[in-house]
A = this chain, B = another copy of it.
C-alpha cells in the first residue's frame, strides 16, 4: 500500500467509527491512575484486556510490567507499534476534573496519551483487518523515564519471542499548538545520561560551622559552577543540556549534615561533546570538593542512559507524506532534533528501520494566552512535558490514532 493517498483514505475509513467519547474515557481513566516505572500493573492489565477483546494474543509480564499483543492477519510485513506506560513523580497542579488521584504521581509526560492512541489504533486496525494483511505487534513498554523499560523487554526476549519487525513506529506528545505532526528524517532525540553525585562533608552543629565541612554550601557552589559547562565549554553550534534535577541534604535547620546528594541529567547529540561534558563535570565536582576541604573525594557515578534516536530518513519521508495527506501540508514540518531522549530505538532489532514523530498537544486557548510574539517565546511559555501543569488538549485523541493507523497501513500489504 505504498501510495500515501491510498493509505490516508483507508485510515479515514477505519477510524470513521472511532468514538471520541470512548477514547476520552480511556484517557481520563489512565490519567487519574498514574503508575510509576515498573509499577504499571493496573495500566497493563486494562490495556491487555482490551487488546484480547479485540482479537490480539497478548503476552503479559514482558520486561516486568510490559506486554506484547500480536494480531497475525495473513502474509505480509510485520509492523510494530509502541506506546510507553509509566508516569512521573510529579505532583499534579492542573486542577483538571480528571487530575491524578495519586499524590505526587502524575502522567506529566503524556504517556497516557501514547497508550490511548496505541489502543485506539490497535482496535481500529483489528476491526478493519479485512482491509490489510500482515502481522501487527502492539508493544506496551514500561519504565521509559530513566527506568530502562525497553532494555528490560529486550533482555526478556522481545526480539526472540515475537515476530521480528520489518518496521517500528512510535510517537510522542509535545508542546506546541495542537494540530501539528513534526517529522525529522534523521536524528530526532538526544542521548541521555544520569549522573549521581555524593558530596562528603563533615557534619556538625549548625552553630559551629568551623568544626565542619559544610556539604550544603559545597553542593550549592557545585551547582553554580556547573552552569559554566554549557556556557563556556560547549561550542554554541553544539547542543548540550546539563540539568541538576535533584539536590537533597540535611534533616534539620540547625544540623550541618555530613553529605549532599545531587542527581544530574545530561543530554547531548555528539559523542565528542558528551565526553567533554562528562570530563568537565568530573573536574568541577572534584575541584569544588578540594576547594571545600572535603575529608573524602566525592562519588561521581555516570549511569549511561539512552542513545540518540535516529529515524530512517526514507521511512520518515514516507510516513510524513501520509500524514500530510491526512492533515494537510502545513501540519507536517521538520522541527529539528530535540534534547529529549527515548529508549524507543532500543526496541528495534539491529538494522530494522524505525520512525518516531511528534503530535503537538497545547490547547488553543493556552497557546493564545501564552505571552510572547515569536514561536520560540510562546513555546517557552506553555506548560511542557514534565511540568505539573502539562495538560494536553483532548482534541488530539482521534488524530493521534490516525497517525499510527496510517503509518501501519503504509507498510502493511
Q: Report A's interface with B, CB cutoff 8 A.
A: 88-90, 93, 104, 108-109, 145-146, 175, 190, 192, 194-196, 202-212, 214, 216-217, 219-258, 260, 263-265, 267, 270, 272-273, 276, 280, 283-284, 286-293, 336-341, 374, 376-377, 379-388
Contacts and interface: CB of A to CB of B under 8 A. Distances in A.
Contact of A374 (B195, B214, B243, B272): B272
Given A104-B251, A204-B386, 4 more contacts: A195-B253, A205-B340, A252-B263, A253-B264
Given A209-B243, A220-B219, A339 B252 contact: no
30 contacts: A89-B251, A90-B251, A175-B211, A194-B254, A203-B386, A204-B383, A204-B384, A207-B236, A207-B267, A209-B231, A210-B234, A210-B235, A211-B380, A216-B245, A226-B231, A228-B231, A229-B231, A231-B231, A235-B376, A236-B339, A238-B376, A243-B253, A246-B249, A246-B252, A248-B250, A252-B263, A253-B265, A272-B374, A272-B376, A273-B376
Contacts of A251: 88-90, 104, 245-246
Secondary structure type dominating chain A contacts: mixed
B225 A210 contact: no
Chain B CB count within 10 A is highest, among A243, A245, A293, for A243
A28 to B, nearest CB: 23
B247 A386 contact: no
A146 B255 CA distance: 11
How often does this chain occur in the complex, in copies?
4
Nearest to A236: B239
B210 A233 contact: yes
B217 A224 contact: yes
Of the listed residues A209, A267, A293, the one surrounded by the most CB atoms of chain B closer than 10 A to its CB is A209
Given A203-B386, A211-B381, A230-B230, A216 B192 contact: no
A209 B225 contact: no
Contacts of A337: 237
A236 B243 CA distance: 12
B339 A255 contact: no
A210 to B, nearest CB: 4
Contacts of A145: 252, 254
